[in-house]
Amino acid sequence: MSLKVKVPVAWFGQGALVHHAAVVCEGGRVAYAGPSVAAPSADELLEVDGFLMPGVVDRHVHIRLADPGAVLLGGVTAVRDLAWVPDEIFELSSASELPTFTGPVIRAAGPMLTAPGGYPTASSWAPRGTGRELAGPEDAAAVVGELADQGAATIKVSLNSEAGPTPSDAELAAIVMAAHERGLPVTAHVQGHGQAERAVGAGIDEFAHTPWTERLSDLLLVSAARSMRIVSTLDIFSFGEVTPDLRTACDNLVRFREAGGTVVYGTDLGNGAIPAGIHVREALLLHEAVRMSPEEVLVAMTAGPLAVGGPADLLVLGSDPLLRLEALGDLRVVVRSGRVVSG
């Protein structure tokens, strides 16, 4: 069953704004994306007066603490889970690949690798197994191998010195080497003085949150901008208020971007009062406090351009988010794997 979605305007990705556009979905993939005059016919036609864009990707969630169905209905068609009990989350991740799954596509890190007694082993949000306590560099490398075999999308490391001990430098080096050998990136929860510097030094690929516990030096940010990207998660530092933590995070993020660094959208859904689905306030913070243009924000919120052969995950909004990002809260249609899930 193929589906054609016809709209007055579509944003397929950076620099690709098309008026009188159509997308044709077939077998869960995009078969056509371009001007509607040239679009092939389809079994079903959906004409919507709105703004079409790729589905939103949230790169930092704890999906077991949320309702996957509500996440999808809220416009988020893919998520990355950054810490949960491995057997449980990898099973859910496999199930989510089915186009009929009532939720977003879920990619997962599995547990957070940590030191014995380290974060999040004593955290109330984290069931037993959410933290994997390491017993030396060899064990660390073996755990990475295990997780890679189970289908981990990324490896998560806990560098939270405010909540307990952290893995040693030797363990970090072993984790990064083993992960990169398996083609997996390493993301780090960094909290406490000097931990961001350790992450950069160890060759870690990503900060799972914008560093918020200290002002990072320009020198460190220049170095980080070359080798790492940052998952934003700004709103969890203040939930709509302006706090010193939020100010520190935004200052670090602005200078990271000035140094050429890449920022992607993530909310840490499951942590506090973050709504399921697109979190408009996170997008607005990126625009207003980090000074990203609306188009830069949309790029950060999507996996890449909507293109032929790619997953048929798309949204139609009631108005143009390039003019007003608040439009991200005005969802008209959500399509996942070529299937309309709302609208």
Q: Which is nearer to Zn ion, 36 or 114 (CB)?
A: 114
Q: How far is CA 98 from CA 28, 102, 117, 257, in A?
A: 10, 9, 37, 36
Q: Cβ atoms within 10 A of the Cβ of 118, count?
A: 22
To Zn ion, the closest distance from the beta carbon of 170 in angstroms equals: 25
Q: Nearest approach, Cβ of 206 to Zn ion (angstroms)?
A: 13
> Nearest distance from residue 62's CB to Zn ion, in Å?
6
Q: Which of 329, 327, 316, 242 is nearest to 3 (CA)?
A: 316
Residue of minimal CB distance from Zn ion? 268
In terms of CB distance, is 171 or 268 closer to Zn ion? 268
Quickly tell me which residue has 């602005």 as its tokens: 254
Nearer to Zn ion, 10 or 204 (CB): 204
Q: How far is the CB of 156 from Zn ion (least distance, A)?
A: 9
- How far apart are alpha carbons 136 and 143 in whole angstroms? 11
Torsion of CA 154, 142, 137, 198, to 10 degrees: 0
CB 249 within 8 A of CB 229: no
Least Å distance, CB 268 to Zn ion, is 4
Closer residue to Zn ion (CB): 80 or 198: 80
Residues that bind Zn ion (CB under 5 A): 268
List of E strands, 36-75: 44-47, 51-54, 56-61
Is the Cβ of residue 46 or residue 236 nearer to Zn ion in the bound state?
236
Instruction: In angstroms, give the least distance from the CB of 31 to Zn ion.
Output: 36
Q: Is 58 or 268 the residue whose CB approaches Zn ion more closely?
A: 268
Q: Between helices 280-288 and 294-301, what is the axis angle to 10°?
A: 130
